[in-house]
Amino acid sequence: MTRSGNIIDSIKKGTPNHYQPLPVVLSEGDGCWVKDVAGKSYLDMLSCYSAVNLGYKHPKLTKAITTQLDTGLTACSNAVYNDKQIFNTKLAEFCGYDKALVMNTGAEAVETFIKLARKWRSLNRVRVGGIGDTAEDDAEIIVCANNFHGRTTTIISFSSELLYREGFGPQTPGFRIIPYGDIKALEQAINFKTAAFLVEPIQGEGGINIPPQGYLSEAKQICAQKGVLFALDEIQTGFGRTGKMFAWEHEDAKPDVLILGKSLGSYIPVSAVLADKEKMDAVFTPGTHGSTFADNPLACAIGIAVLEVFSAEGSKLLANVSKNGRWFTKQLKGIKNPHIKEVRGRGLFVGVELLPEAGGARRFCEALVQLKPSGIICKETHKNVIRFAPPLIIAREELEWAVDRIRQVLEN
């Protein structure tokens, strides 16, 4: 058995089999490339589910981490230190909001938003269509089918994916699921209980699903008219993934509440919820929310560095994403395979959907990772979709190299 095989078997003995990783054991990364324990190289076209947008071993990010570690300081969320103030202020300004509430994981940020939406409605007794006040604890949040916002108990309660929910009941009430991209369904779903509409600009885990043009801007308008919070989960799409800094910019649909994660911290778990001062100050009073390691010194240090990189290099990065994304999508659409149903994407967030008779996307992802002398790392989603999301810094030459090998696997 190979060294990778031994390590994988050892991991299976010590941890539940709750993930189905690709058959490779990674040891280091640099730029858009990673190596396994045997020294084989792979072009990473997953980017840790869009967390590593700036690539591996970015000099400014690694310096920020090592410099902070050298201070020897760690602190819980009720402590005050300079980087905490700098990061929160910079993040709010960068995103165009009054305040940012920093957490650790994307799911934690979504849970934070749920609390915000429910209590904001409770404080304001939102009136919809003149119906009037309602009970404090009957708030509903509208979400979309095929959503993915995390795997905590509350969040899986509004997932339409049976695998995520089955056996983990009782489910948390207070959510209504509507079809994704259906603006009329949203209009019809809003009632006197509705506190917010939570949606992904593009559904990543759902299969790189892109709503009709104008959907987000119409949804924002309807929510404003009905007194309902419009919230976007940009955990995967934020920070340049789609060719705009944030995906809402494609339609000028700035949300009332913006949820971020993944690439905000790149190598360190960092997430955030952003909103205006009125909502943040009214909802989150002392003792109502918190997390021990939220905006810890290491998280703040890398968060500041990420914002500085995007502030200095954002225009160049976004141009690269838009140009390379269009080229990459076009090349994938030209692959000759009768089992390809559709290629869709925006920027460097691209999915190849296969017909059921193709035998699932997993086998193609495994074939790509097993290529020699170098492989490609990508991941299946929703069984029949191959997802590609390389670092934003990827060069055209690297994409050309990848396309040649993707074509080789899909056509043969």
**Catalytic positions:** 148, 233, 262
Q: In one letter, which amino acid is 267?
A: Y
Burial class of residue 322, CB neighbours in 10 A (0-12, 13-18, 19+): middle
- H-only helix segments in 337-395: 362-369
Contact 222, 167 (CB under 8 A): no
Q: Is the dihedral of CA 162, 166, 168, 170 positive or negative?
A: positive
Encoding tokens for residue 370? 């097993």
Contact 165, 142 (CB under 8 A): no
Parallel/antiparallel/unpaired status of strands 229-233 and 257-260: parallel
Residues 216, 200: Cα–Cα separation, whole Å? 9
Contacts of 282 (CB under 8 A, 6+ apart): 119, 120, 123
Q: In one letter, which amino acid is 151?
A: R
Rounded alpha-carbon distances, angstroms, from residue 45 to 22, 25, 240, 365, 370: 13, 16, 15, 11, 14
CB burial string 270-281: b at 16+ within 10 A, e below: bbbbbbeeebbe
Residue 392 CB neighbours (<10 A): 29
Residues 37, 41: Cα–Cα separation, whole Å? 10
Residue 326 phi/psi, 5-degree rounding, is -60, -45
